[in-house]
Amino acid sequence: ETGVTQSPTHLIKTRGQQVTLRCSSQSGHNTVSWYQQALGQGPQFIFQYYREEENGRGNFPPRFSGLQFPNYSSELNVNALELDDSALYLCATTPGLGVIQTQYFGPGTRLLVL
Amino acid sequence: KQEVTQIPAALSVPEGENLVLNCSFTDSAIYNLQWFRQDPGKGLTSLLLIQSSQREQTSGRLNASLDKSSGRSTLYIAASQPGDSATYLCAVPGNQFYFGTGTSLTVIP
């Protein structure tokens, strides 16, 4: 198992609500990426944070936002939830920037929007 | 934009059989390629990372190969076991991590 943890493990929300998901980085990892994985699909990149700044974003609307804290933990916030936001949300951390780095994934948060 | 494809989408084999999973990518200018395993409803576990300068990487019963020029990678699993049942994903990094849709493997005892 990696040292990456995510909370909560499961969450049920209704359409229009807001949600905050949390990720704690593996020790020494200052870069965190968030992914959305719909059922039967591969993970889709949402955004990446490096040293508390956003460092790249995928094709997701602005209602998906994030934060990274000085201890490198991170939050993913989703406003105005839609039914299609139902998915497994994964965070992954790396010890720094650079494409040679492998990513260490957390167990994910499963979000259901009703 | 990088596109990653995995074939087959699902595979069912009897225990003990050797098998090959395929991954193809459209942009051959990659730094590395990574194979992951995902158990149902769980996160991703890294299996093998192949650097662009390598052609193969081995870990136990797993062997991954990389052919950048043809845009292909294969994951070979020897002597499959029921515990190998999972979804296998390949991914390549760029300005983000690009994943395939995965191959769902079932090993029948």
Q: Which two three-digit tokens encode residue B90? A: 């390949």
- The pLDDT value recorded for residue B28 is 87
Closest CA to B85 of B38, B45, B23: B38
Question: Are A33 and B45 in contact (CB < 8 Å)?
Answer: no
pLDDT confidence tier of residue A17, bands split at 50, 70 and 90: very high
Higher pLDDT, A101 or B93: B93
| Nearest neighbour of B42 by CB, restricted to A4, A33, A108 | A108
Q: How far is A3 from chain B (nearest CA, A)?
A: 12
Q: Which residues of A83-97 are buried (b: 16+ CB within 10 A; e: fewer)?
A: eebbbbbbbbbbeee
A99, pLDDT greater than 70: no
Binning pLDDT at 50, 70 and 90, where does residue B41 land? confident
Under 8 Å between Cβ of B72 and B7? no
Q: Which amino acid is at A31?
A: T
pLDDT tier, A1 (very low <50, low <70, confident <90, very high otherwise) = low
Contact between A48 and B96 using a beta-carbon 8 Å cutoff: yes
Tell me if B52 sits within 8 A of B59, measured CB to CB: no
Which of B4, B44, B100 minimises the CB distance to A90?
B44
Long-range contacts of B66-70 (CB under 8 A, 24+ apart): B66/B33, B68/B28, B68/B30, B69/B28, B70/B28
pLDDT attached to residue A104: 86
Higher pLDDT, A72 or A18: A18
More confident residue, A100 or B3: B3
Instruction: Answer yes or no: is pLDDT of A33 > 80.
Output: yes
pLDDT category of residue A98 using cuts at 50, 70 and 90: low
**How many C-alpha atoms does A6 have within 13 Å on its Cβ side?**
30
The token duo for B3 is 């596109």
Cβ–Cβ below 8 Å for B31 and A99: yes
Q: Could you report the per-residue pLDDT of B51-83, keeping only the tens digit for each?
A: 888 899 999 999 999 999 999 999 999 999 999
User: At residue A96, what is the residue type?
Assistant: G
Please tell me the predicted confidence (pLDDT) of residue B42.
85
Residue A45 has pLDDT above 90, yes or no: yes
Query: Which pLDDT does position A91 carry in this prediction?
Result: 94
All residues at 6 or more sequence positions from B99 whose CB lies less than 8 Å from its CB, including other chains: A35, A42, A43, A44, B4, B89, B90, B91
